[in-house]
Amino acid sequence: MYGFLVEIMDPAEILNVRFHFGGQFIRIGPSLDYVGGETGMSKIERDKLSLQELKGFLGDHMTVKESMKYYFQLPGRDLVNGLLFLHDDGGCMKMSDYITEGGVGEIYVEYNGEEEEQGEIDSGSDFEDELDELMNIGSEEEPDAVITAEDCSAEVNDNVNATEQTGTAGEIIEHIFVPDVGGAITRVINSPLKQNVRVDYPTQSSQVLNVSQPCQAAQDISGSVAKVAENGSDSEDYEYVPHTDDSGEESEVVEMRKHARKFRKKMGDSKMWADADATGAVPIDLVANVEEVVEDMEFESSDEDYSYDEDEDGNMVRRKSQFVRFNPDSDIPHFSLGMVFKSKKQLTRAMKRYGLATKRSISFLKSEEARVRAKCDWPGCPWMLYAAKTSRCSRFQIITFEDEHQCAQNRDNKLVTAKVIAKRYEHFILANPLWKIGSMKATVMKDMFADVSISKCKAAKKLVLDQLMSGMKSEYNKVFDYQLELLRSNPGSTVAVCLDPKEKEENIFQQFYVCFNAMKQGFKAGCRKVIGLYDCFFKGACQGELLDAIARDANNQMYPVAWAVVEKETNESWAWFIGLLIKDLDINDQGAGWVFISDKQKGLINSMRDYLPKAEHRMCARHIYANWRKKHKDQKLQKRFWVIAKSANREDFNYNKAKLAQLTPEGAKDIMKTDPKHWARAFFPIGANCESVDNNLCESFNNAIIEARFYPIISQQEKIRKKMMVRVQEQKTKSEKWNGIICPNIFKKIKANIKRTQFLEVLWNGKDGFEVKHLNSRGMRYIVNLEKWTCSCGYFQLAGLPCCHAICAIYKSGRKVEDFIDKCYYIDTFKKNY
């Protein structure tokens, strides 16, 4: 068709254009380049020329997107100072004027693929709001030890130089590609130049960029980049690096973070109220205990075996009962005639809860061994309940029940005792010992509709604080008893109590370590040799720090192995903790083959050097980022940082670091202040089956137990123990419903990788393996070796999970993906963990 046109048309009426598309504007040194992509020629009739027409012709070469931008390169000029933004038909006419007969108009297409990328970016865990959270935690921490990379600085410079030599750009650009929602590899990201145009010249139809001043252009670009970042309105310079998606622990990490954030907010808000000289009521959602419901459940499990019988074969069968059983899980207890309770205690507790919830004062008239009679205190109100022990067993049954109140809510509710008040506001009082009694009284009125006396409020407060004080005094004396009790009830566990060596005679407790046998055995039965180490402070009136060692289960979720209470995180306390850990987990050969992930605690680093010199020591990239960001605040650098940390091979690492250097040479230098072997995937040794660059699982543990950190040692340890035991049980139950071979979080990752394979092609396979090529991008190629379980992208061997390239090769060879997933991710392994 076009050929025909050309033949009959006057050549002067034809405009030759060369589209450059699928590439990206990249600033290299003082010059601007359009790297990657392809070119395509079109012949356009000059008198029909319009922006729409231009897009139509581009459509012959590629799929045109609405958000694409077009630039015309003025003849004889460089990209850096000679681009004309084709914004409307006028711009196109101007272009036509520049191109004489026989000349070719060079048009550069820019596309940053906003819509397509969004899903991919959101799935990452490393972005903003969570880091704010990290900042909060960070403020409690001591400054980092500085670990300087020995020989990395030389390497940095080499890399930057390598990029500046444009000759190498050809290899580098192969790594830039962007998947859309469906995993399709669309192309091109964006460039500083585009932002310049958009921000500085949004209303002008077309604009020649700094035709005469290349230096000025560079400044404008950086200035407008900053502006864009401030506005936060523009899409970022996102870039896809294979397998940056999270390590699968996500859901729990996020859940725990939410839990802790909610708790911290509550504590912060409550402090505001308590500090004010207020007599007003504190908002109710601030005062009620977060964990109240959980504690209730311990007493009243609905799953009691009294409703089961054994059949002839010894199987448990649910007993059919003609009577309704009491449901302890409902918010307001509900009663009915004939209802059965498992004990008298359950019944009286239920009635108290009922009275508190409905604001009725219920009193118990007759409280004998075998019967209970309760009535509403309001004069003349007919509500009453009578229950007695049944003949069959110790169960209680409602015999008489009058469910009608002829009363109003009772301000004089006798059920609201000092003890009830103490229990309900325990956390608030612990966190705010200076809470004013007047405000407390007003709060009880608003919250429980009970007009209690000042002295009752004082008594309640005293109860909580006395318990805390006596706890702090007596609990420390009882540590040895607690140690014995734990050892008795958990045989095989390690519970170590360390005395203060300076006060030997006094038996002053100094440190407490516990590693439960269940966790120890579960760890040895199938956890990878990957341990996160962490420390956090106690809260409230209690002094001390908690050290913990958190492994990961087969489903990539936290698996707390051991924890310890110490006065302070120091060289000595870490050495002591690590020493016990080495013994409990049978860590041999100075830690060879083990991975430890931590923040940058000085004492810990020293202990690692002294006791585990052969272990791999990763340092949480979130932590490193948080420090780096103090100096390099620009929001858009955040993504750059993570892309670098998660690049799984040196080439990608160097390339992405060079790209960062384009934005901030100083930032790229600073990033290397911590040796990348501690935080960048590309430098991690192979063999641990863990690609994680962060210490999120430790953070999760500490978020999960945040309430416990307000209590003195034994109460605290009991709360942690219970919480962890409940979790073990939950994990066990959860896994019974799983089907297949691979744990669900892992399967999710595999599914994502499988999806990516639709845009890959196996080029050849020989005895050494497969070469796999990306179809839609610039044809990046990777070598997969299925015998050795490796891919040159670096991910397969690091994670023990096949990357998209490996999966592609697996399919090609007619084998099964499951056969290339390490057993550490199997459901069977998970079941051994718990």
**CA–CA distance, 767 with 255 (Å, rounded to integer):** 46
Query: Within a 13 Å sphere around the CA of 788, how many CA atoms are in the beta-carbon half?
Result: 14
Provide the minimum distance between the beta carbon of 656 and Zn ion in the complex, in angstroms, as a whole number.
16
Q: Check residue 805 for interaction with Zn ion (CB under 5 A).
A: yes
Please, which residue, 306 or 378, has the CB nearer to Zn ion? Answer: 378
Nearest distance from C-beta of residue 356 to Zn ion, angstroms: 14
Give the range of 103-111, 121-129, 566-574, 782-790 binding Zn ion by CB under 5 A: 782-790
As measured in angstroms, the least distance from the Cβ of 384 to Zn ion is: 9
x-marked contacts with Zn ion along 66-105 as a string, rule CB under 5 A: ----------------------------------------
> How far apart, in whole angstroms, are the C-alpha atoms of residue 659 and residue 236?
14
Residues listed for the chain? 834
Smallest gap from residue 329 Cβ to Zn ion (A):
25
Considering the rule CB under 5 A, would residue 401 count as an interface residue with Zn ion? no
Q: Looking at 221, 793, 809, 810, which residue binds Zn ion (CB under 5 A)?
A: 793
Token pair belonging to 158: 């080499």
User: Of the two residues 534 and 782, which places its CB atom closer to Zn ion in the complex?
Assistant: 782
Please tell me the count of residues contacting Zn ion according to CB under 5 A: 11
Task: Give least dist CB 676 to Zn ion, A.
Answer: 20
CB 307 within 8 A of CB 322: no
Distance of closest approach, residue 404 Cβ to Zn ion, in angstroms: 8
Question: CA 519, CA 725: separation in Å to the nearest integer?
Answer: 10
User: What letter represents residue 728's amino acid?
Assistant: V
Interacting span for Zn ion (CB under 5 A) from 4-12, 122-130, 258-266, 407-415: 407-415
**Binding segment (CB under 5 A) for Zn ion, from list 2-10, 369-377, 556-564, 609-617:** 369-377
C-alpha pair distances (Å), 435 with each of 274, 424, 428, 500, 715: 5, 14, 8, 35, 23
Scanning 186-194, 247-255, 683-691, 778-786 for contacts with Zn ion by CB under 5 A, the matching segment is 778-786
Count the Cβ atoms, other than its own, within 10 Å of residue 160: 19
For Zn ion, which is the closer residue by CB, 163 or 797? Answer: 797
Q: Rounded to whole angstroms, how far apart are CA atoms 210 and 30?
A: 14
Comparing CA positions, the residue from 794, 786, 791 lying closest to residue 815 is 786
Among 550, 803, 821, 827, binds Zn ion (CB under 5 A): 803
Residue 476 engages Zn ion in binding (rule: CB under 5 A): no
Q: Which is nearer to Zn ion, 431 or 680 (CB)?
A: 680
Main-chain dihedrals φ then ψ at residue 767, nearest 5 degrees: -75, -20
Under 8 Å between Cβ of 373 and 386: yes
Out of 35, 44, 86, 381, the only residue in the binding site for Zn ion (CB under 5 A) is: 381
Give the orientation angle of helix 602-611 with respect to helix 571-584, to 10 degrees. Answer: 50
427 vs 774 by CB, closer to Zn ion: 774
Q: How far is the CB of 424 from Zn ion (least distance, A)?
A: 22
When asked if residue 374 is in the footprint of Zn ion (CB under 5 A), the reply is no
Sheet holding 396-402: strands in order across?
340-341, 396-402, 384-389, 371-376, 362-368
Question: In this structure, what are the phi and psi dihedrals at residue 142, rounded to the nearest 5 degrees?
Answer: -80, 160
813 CB-near residues (< 8 Å, 6+ apart): 765, 770, 786
Residue range at the interface with Zn ion (CB under 5 A); choices 93-101, 374-382, 685-693, 754-762? 374-382
376 part of the interface to Zn ion, by CB under 5 A: yes
Footprint of Zn ion on 683-742 (CB under 5 A): none
Dihedral over alpha carbons 813, 818, 822, 823 (to 10 degrees): -140
- Shortest distance, position 770 Cβ to Zn ion, whole Å: 10
CA dist 166 to 34, 35, 204, 273, 808, Å?
A: 11, 10, 33, 62, 33
Among 786, 791, 808, 809, binds Zn ion (CB under 5 A): 791
- The residue (of 358 and 417) whose beta carbon lies closer to Zn ion is 358
- CB of 15 closer than 8 Å to CB of 46: yes
CB of 153 to Zn ion, least distance (A): 30
From 92-100, 171-179, 287-295, 373-381, give the range in contact with Zn ion by CB under 5 A. Answer: 373-381
Q: Measuring CA to CA, how many Å separate 825 from each of 418, 586, 637, 820, 831?
A: 52, 22, 33, 11, 11
| Integer Cα distance of 370 and 387 in angstroms | 9
The reply on whether position 644 binds Zn ion by CB under 5 A is: no
Residue 357 vs 726, nearer CB to Zn ion: 357
Scanning 311-319, 322-330, 382-390, 603-611 for contacts with Zn ion by CB under 5 A, the matching segment is 382-390
DSSP string across 413-447? -TT--HHHHHHHTHHHHHH-TT--HHHHHHHHHHH
| Near Zn ion in 9-28, by CB under 5 A | none
The C-alpha atoms of residue 692 and residue 686 are separated, in whole angstroms, by 12
User: Which one of the spans 143-151, 469-477, 710-718, 790-798 is the region binding Zn ion (CB under 5 A)?
Assistant: 790-798
Which of 359, 832 has the CB closer to Zn ion?
359
Decide whether 596 or 782 has the Cβ nearer to Zn ion: 782
Query: To 10 degrees, what angle do helices 621-631 and 635-646 make?
Result: 140
In this structure, which amino acid lies at residue 32? L
Site for Zn ion contains 351 (CB under 5 A): no
When asked if residue 378 is in the footprint of Zn ion (CB under 5 A), the reply is: yes
- Minimum distance, C-beta of residue 809 to Zn ion, in the bound complex (Å): 9
Alpha helices in 408-539 (DSSP H): 418-424, 426-431, 437-448, 454-477, 479-489, 517-526
Q: How far is the CB of 239 from Zn ion (least distance, A)?
A: 17
User: Near Zn ion by CB under 5 A, which window of 200-208, 331-339, 402-410, 636-644?
Assistant: 402-410
Q: Is the dihedral of CA 580, 586, 590, 592 positive or negative?
A: negative
SS3 399: strand
One residue of 405, 423, 602, 781 binding Zn ion per CB under 5 A:
405
What SS3 state is found at 599?
A: coil
The contact set with Zn ion (CB under 5 A) reads 376, 378, 381, 383, 405, 407, 782, 791, 793, 803, 805
